[in-house]
Amino acid sequence: MAKAEDFGFGTQIRKSPYFDATVRWGAKAFSVYNHMYIPREFGDPEQNFWNLINDAILCDVAVERQVEITGPDAARFVQMLTPRDLSKLAVGQCKYVLITNADGGILNDPILLRLGENHFWLSLADSDILLWAQGVAVHSGMDVTIREPDVSPLQLQGPKSGEVMRALFGDSIMDLKYYWLRRVELDGIPLIVSRTGWSSELGYELYLQDSTRGDALWERIMAAGQPLGLKPGHTSSIRRIEGGMLSYHADADIGTNPYELGLDRLVNLEIEADFIGKAALRRIKAEGVRRQQVGLVIDGAPLGGPNTTFWPIHRDGAAIGKVTSAIHSPRLKQNIALAMVAVEHAAIGTALEVATATGPRRAIVVERPFYDPKKTLAAA
Amino acid sequence: MAKAEDFGFGTQIRKSPYFDATVRWGAKAFSVYNHMYIPREFGDPEQNFWNLINDAILCDVAVERQVEITGPDAARFVQMLTPRDLSKLAVGQCKYVLITNADGGILNDPILLRLGENHFWLSLADSDILLWAQGVAVHSGMDVTIREPDVSPLQLQGPKSGEVMRALFGDSIMDLKYYWLRRVELDGIPLIVSRTGWSSELGYELYLQDSTRGDALWERIMAAGQPLGLKPGHTSSIRRIEGGMLSYHADADIGTNPYELGLDRLVNLEIEADFIGKAALRRIKAEGVRRQQVGLVIDGAPLGGPNTTFWPIHRDGAAIGKVTSAIHSPRLKQNIALAMVAVEHAAIGTALEVATATGPRRAIVVERPFYDPKKTLAAA
């Protein structure tokens, strides 16, 4: 079996505490995220998708580095970092938030975990929010401590993940509510578990708090889960695009604002706190956005894989936007994509032309998410 | 020939404006740096080293993203970001600087370019200093604009790089001094060129200021340089370790301070400016460091490749440090390494034991750099 040493990886990019385990369990290819390797293939991405939606998969997402914010002013400081109203965030609760800069541009879209009254984690997408938060703190006059703790999450996702959790932690874990967290132990390994994930399926994240125990934790979960159908896996681009979930840098970046993504619910301009980006976002909201994220269904044969460049979008010969994430969904039997287009062309049903890697194809603007178990797919 | 599309790269990681050119010219493997692909192999890393030290190589280092700082307070702001004394930094000059946080930890080790009185670029190692700088600015009360401009550097390095520069820009470029920069054009392509690099060889960096011209620039330089011995290449780990140059995340990180690296010359506690980290660095200097970077020569057969994990170092059975970067130098015919060890074990000539991937080996502490054309190698 391939050993970690065979990959020829240097030390400039970190290895996850689960690295050796994922290689042992069949990881074939890695990407890099937050300066750390992340498994992105276990042989067949489509099989990984079916494993996720029919059973359950265990994914190494140690790349979701945590920014820990503590200290007497921690709660006030965290509210300064995000336009989302945190006044009702209870201890033990999580929220999906945006981190915005002074121009209202999106720097990250983490999960915020409230571990204590003045104890928070930001579970990051791919950018150095540790540096952003430490930088903001320098002249803030607030008493906070900001650091990256020794925390490495796993995602356990899929319809059978609940039964795997029950096997690991007993019946008492079954009442953990969506977007809540709990402190637990497994064979003496200290964990935080939360009912969150990046799959739009039933799912959990397990935040290992001792990187020397990565291998033991992975094996313990697989041993409990395999009889219930659990497979080693990786975050599924198919499922996350079906769910209309963002991939930072692909679908959003520092030049993207929340209104362009239709994420108005994550911005509350009415709160008293003077969060970073408030004035800019107020102005953007008043003026209206010039471009907007849409869903697309792209005609033709199944795409061979995800887009590897931003595909230009045209209408009547004029360039009006770009495809940011595209993939073929074997469940929907459609090519689906997230795209950013000029607002004039964002209406549901609009016909556009996408310059794919293999030539132009017709596409239709549709509603997102593409797949939602609670409703049927919007007709293309 | 392999096309860029064949690599199966997604859009979550950016492609350099030279990506297609490097693939066309034989790039076989890529790494990721500042959320962007960087070529790291053109077939044989040792041949790339010989090309560099005997002739010249052209390297895609668009991953060196620039943080541009402008505005009335730009000069004052930049001095706040670094412990290095910038009072003598002239317009047109460059300096190697450290960016430190409030604890004196190193966030990055960029080249600072002064393009105008209040116009600076930080040419980055691998961390999001754009976010750090924007974060620091939020409550600084200073009038600055901080952004990532459309700038993508190439490195032209090696003893024949001067002749290639002459072929491209004429005799007038020959008086460009070490660590100075100049604005030039090539076939109408706007460039900044500087006499800097990451090779300890004669070398230049060419900062493309229009990413749509990447392919044209690469081809223009190769066409002029090939008759003079120029080869496509990549930054050489062998040469940079020989030169004792840092690789951020490998040899230094947020928990490393400048004194541990022996970079006292980059810290000036006497300047008036209250740069970030000043108080912490003053305290660290007064207390003395507990660990220190050293050079090592490691016994035995040539290492098969660079270390892919931090190798533990022992002395008399006790763990006293770690190897951060190790490689075999075919010129020195030695295994050389940068390591961080407890100060008690840092004296030149100290014998240590390194736990390499293939078993323990004896190592001796030696002076850095390992190779300096101006002096002979310190005897092992």
Q: How far is B174 from chain A (nearest CA, A)?
A: 35
Of the candidates A102, A108, A147, A365, the residue with the CA atom closest to the CA atom of residue A249: A108
Band of pLDDT at residue B80, cut at 50, 70 and 90:
very high
Please indicate whether, in this complex, the C-beta atoms of B140 and A139 are within 8 angstroms of each other.
yes
Q: How far is A249 from chain B (nearest CA, A)?
A: 5
Token pair in block for residue B12: 């979550």
Report the residue of B65, B103, B128 to disrupt the A interface, i.e. the one with the largest count of A CBs within 10 Å.
Answer: B128
What ranges do the domains of chain A cover? 4-64+151-240, 241-366
Q: How far is B14 from chain A (nearest CA, A)?
A: 8
Q: What is the mean pLDDT of residues B59-64?
A: 98
Band of pLDDT at residue B374, cut at 50, 70 and 90:
low
Token pair in block for residue A147: 């650091």
Give me the CATH topology for the region B4-64+151-240.
Gyrase A; domain 2 (3.30.1360)
Q: Collect all residues of chain B within an 8 Å Cβ-Cβ radius of residue A126.
A: 12, 35
Residue B345 has pLDDT above 70, yes or no: yes
User: Which helix (DSSP H) or strand (DSSP E) does residue B77 occupy?
Assistant: helix B74-81
Q: Collect all residues of chain B within an 8 Å Cβ-Cβ radius of residue A131.
A: 101, 107, 127-129, 131-132, 135
* Angle (deg, nearest 10), helices A129-138 and B129-138: 20
Answer for the pair A38, A16: CB distance below 8 angstroms, yes or no.
yes
- Single-letter residue type at A165: M
Answer for the pair A239, A155: CB distance below 8 angstroms, yes or no.
no
Give the number of beta-carbon pairs within 8 Å between A and B.
Answer: 149
Tokens 């859009």 locate to: B11
Residue B39 has pLDDT above 50, yes or no: yes
Residues of chain A with pLDDT under 50: 1-6, 376-380
Strand A318-329 with A334-342, pairing:
antiparallel
Q: Collect all residues of chain A within an 8 Å Cβ-Cβ radius of residue B19.
A: none
Nearest to B10 among A139, A276, A308 (CB): A308
Taking only the tens place, the pLDDT of each residue in B137-194 is: 999 999 999 999 999 999 999 999 999 999 999 999 999 999 999 999 999 999 999 9
Q: Collect all residues of chain A within an 8 Å Cβ-Cβ radius of residue B38.
A: none
Chain A CA closest to residue B357: A5
Residues of the binding site of A for substrate: 205
Instruction: Tell me yes or no: is domain A241-366 CATH 2.40.30.110.
Output: yes
Euclidean distance between CA atoms A269 and B251, whole angstroms: 44
Sign of CA dihedral A150, A156, A162, A163: negative
Please indicate whether, in this complex, the C-beta atoms of B309 and A15 are within 8 angstroms of each other.
yes
Taking only the tens place, the pLDDT of each residue in B196-216 is: 998 989 999 999 999 999 999
Tokens 């770009």 locate to: A322
Of the candidates A34, A95, A303, A56, the residue with the CA atom closest to the CA atom of residue A199: A56
What percentage of chain B reaches a pLDDT higher than 90? 93
Nearest to B12 among A4, A139, A250 (CB): A250
Output the CA angle A29-A31-A33, nearest 5 degrees.
155
